[in-house]
Structure 1
């Protein structure tokens, strides 16, 4: 999962984390089609606000965005991509967004650190005619269009699988992401509702900040206190670590665990299937290329296109949920990505043509 640290660090830019290309930047009041049919004249300058750089998921999010941007750039639709990317708290992300406004962007794609705390700066940007698209997790601001998957449903898919594996009365531990993070809260709400309905007992729940090593340690700690559990619910970005904790205790054949649609975990899944054909897991993709889907939407809004009726749920456009990796389709899905790095997340973005379908 794209995340930011539980304990915020001071701004510390990784090499190349802040990329500003400057050719013909438009002025702030030149942009912002607003989705109301008032087209602005391109090419458009797109800004990105990313509040965390310590995640491979976030790196993939930015890389795929840059690739899609290059295609629009070749077509003359956009000119510059201005990226503000660093480990920051909410105040730091507010400054990121103000920097983008001052850079003269026409649209901002933001992976927000809070669902509400950025609303004031979003309003400031909107006053300058800037389109704002939130990805990965939704925000409440009326000035923002959320282009996201349903994180609650994302977690519920894995939770339903685990509930079936452990059965009514089953006892599980939960390894969640960042305490208080909007995506984490939405996910745990969705999963908890499934467990409550299925009569599954969550005997312990802790947070591992969407980090594999931390996920392994947290799982080890929870298992030490609750050695007789039937299952582990773990979010993506930590499932391989949690699996390794089960492996160290010799529990991989006894304790069911929700997996992740990342190459590292899928390799272990393949090994377990080879050793035990009855081994089962699940991986629900959380696509980093939601950034690409957002770019398609941002470009069309800047070009003055209007959303078709009933496209938005409030201020949110819910992207289609990518196909879940299951025992039944595992061989096919793994073959598509096994040559990628272990950190690679099974990905998906809507095409430009699919983006067109959201508009009148």
Structure 2
């Protein structure tokens, strides 16, 4: 989720920006005064015990991953409300428009929010408005799709490590030789580029592994199925598939099953449609290593912001370990009673959250 920097939009983003435009009003239970300005680089004010006004700015809300993230965030907000730490919460959906996301963040600044959570539509375009929020004493915590500013708390996973980990598993599975198709996300998307960078570092160590095709596709099943089928028809003798997205993995496995072809190892993600097919075909010898961009990044970001305001020395960059889904623990993840486009994830223990945020 990257976009062109449009700094002029910040000045133009109406100071009277529509607080409810594009917003999903999850909870409007009360208002609180803003946090006092602080020299703390993340905008936190140490030692305060007041209940906080929290908002989440997300570039979009429609995908099932975002819906699961919202549900997880709402559950944590409810818990923090019960503890008297959060007074009110709202979600602001920019519907894929970075300029609208900037305007909505401006509105939150004007409305004196204490905490702004952000899933960014651009790694650079949001920097000025988020730094403006920090300068106003607001604690900003960014998760999942990250900005480049070092003035905000950033919570994410290591996407290069994602590529390295899954590529190494595939190289080991193939015994260091074979022919593979690489299934990557859209060209130019930062997450896709970083995962492939990690994978390339591994594959370069194995000259006997030939990458027959490097396919770029949307992270959706239908276009991915078309892209893989085309590549596979040209390279039917592959011995493995490097895939860096769950829908891409599902498309590859689905194609092999439909064409009654040999099931080769395919790396993947916690996309439930893929996990269910994997579980079904495991008895036929199919194997994978998958990982996940956990929805609980949002919970860690929220708890980091609340802890920062409460005086905890929270790290500005929090790297959350990547889960590993294997043949041995697959049954803990694959959910037969959930939709294919859901992303099952095991909960993270509170003790691990506390460790990550410096408690």
TM-score range, shorter chain: 0.7 to 0.9
CA deviations on 1:139-158 (whole Å, 9 max, x unpaired) are 32021111112121122221
Please report how far the alpha carbon of residue 206 of structure 1 lies from its aligned counterpart in structure 2 after TM superposition.
2.8
Match of 2:338 among 332, 337, 340: 340
CA deviations on 1:284-314 (whole Å, 9 max, x unpaired) are 122112111111111101212213xxxx4xx
Number of aligned residue pairs: 337
Question: For residues 44 and 35 of structure 2, what CA distance do their matches in structure 1 show?
Answer: 16
Please report how far the alpha carbon of residue 266 of structure 1 lies from its aligned counterpart in structure 2 after TM superposition.
1.8
- Cα 1:94/1:37, change in 2 over 3 Å: closer
Name structure 2 gaps, 5 residues minimum.
Answer: 4-20
* Counterpart residue number, 1:359: 358
CA contact (8 A) 1:178 1:209 kept: yes
Superposition map of 1:152-167 within 5 A:
152-167=160-175
CA contact (8 A) 1:108 1:131 kept: yes
Question: For residues 92 and 36 of structure 1, what CA distance do their matches in structure 2 show?
Answer: 26
Question: For residues 276 and 98 of structure 2, what CA distance do their matches in structure 1 show?
Answer: 36
CA deviations on 1:87-130 (whole Å, 9 max, x unpaired) are 22332322232232233221111112222222111111111111
Question: For residues 174 and 278 of structure 2, what CA distance do their matches in structure 1 show?
Answer: 19
Question: For residues 44 and 67 of structure 2, what CA distance do their matches in structure 1 show?
Answer: 33
Superposition map of 1:196-235 within 5 A:
196-199=204-207, 200-235=209-244
Does 1:320 pair with 2:321? yes
- Cα 1:317/1:280, change in 2 over 3 Å: same
Does 1:290 pair with 2:294? no
CA contact (8 A) 2:164 2:195 kept: yes
- Cα 1:184/1:26, change in 2 over 3 Å: farther
Question: For residues 203 and 104 of structure 2, what CA distance do their matches in structure 1 show?
Answer: 39
Superposition map of 1:253-332 within 5 A:
253=263, 255-274=264-283, 276=284, 278-307=285-314, 312=315, 315-322=316-323, 324-332=324-332
Please report how far the alpha carbon of residue 41 of structure 1 lies from its aligned counterpart in structure 2 after TM superposition.
4.2
- Cα 1:21/1:331, change in 2 over 3 Å: closer
Name structure 1 gaps, 5 residues minimum.
Answer: 6-14
* Counterpart residue number, 2:257: 247
- Cα 1:349/1:291, change in 2 over 3 Å: farther
Give the alignment's TM-score, normalised by structure 1: 0.84
Please report how far the alpha carbon of residue 201 of structure 1 lies from its aligned counterpart in structure 2 after TM superposition.
2.8
Question: For residues 355 and 237 of structure 1, what CA distance do their matches in structure 2 show?
Answer: 25
CA contact (8 A) 1:30 1:40 kept: no
Question: For residues 166 and 118 of structure 2, what CA distance do their matches in structure 1 show?
Answer: 27
CA deviations on 1:204-229 (whole Å, 9 max, x unpaired) are 22322221222212211222333333
221-230 vs 51-60, greater mean Cα deviation = 221-230
Question: For residues 49 and 36 of structure 2, what CA distance do their matches in structure 1 show?
Answer: 8
CA deviations on 1:8-35 (whole Å, 9 max, x unpaired) are xxxxxxx996225334323445477747
Please report how far the alpha carbon of residue 355 of structure 1 lies from its aligned counterpart in structure 2 after TM superposition.
3.3
Question: For residues 180 and 90 of structure 1, what CA distance do their matches in structure 2 show?
Answer: 17
- Cα 1:35/1:102, change in 2 over 3 Å: closer
Give the alignment's TM-score, normalised by structure 2: 0.84
Question: For residues 281 and 26 of structure 2, what CA distance do their matches in structure 1 show?
Answer: 45
CA contact (8 A) 1:289 1:348 kept: no
SS at match of 1:140: coil
Please report how far the alpha carbon of residue 80 of structure 1 lies from its aligned counterpart in structure 2 after TM superposition.
1.4
Question: For residues 131 and 325 of structure 1, what CA distance do their matches in structure 2 show?
Answer: 34
35-44 vs 210-219, greater mean Cα deviation = 35-44
* Counterpart residue number, 1:114: 122
Question: For residues 305 and 336 of structure 2, what CA distance do their matches in structure 1 show?
Answer: 32
Question: For residues 74 and 29 of structure 1, what CA distance do their matches in structure 2 show?
Answer: 20
C-alpha RMSD over aligned residues: 2.7
Question: For residues 29 and 43 of structure 1, what CA distance do their matches in structure 2 show?
Answer: 10
Please report how far the alpha carbon of residue 68 of structure 1 lies from its aligned counterpart in structure 2 after TM superposition.
1.0
- Cα 1:79/1:29, change in 2 over 3 Å: closer
Question: For residues 252 and 84 of structure 1, what CA distance do their matches in structure 2 show?
Answer: 46
CA deviations on 1:176-234 (whole Å, 9 max, x unpaired) are 22332222222111111111122333232232222122221221122233333322222
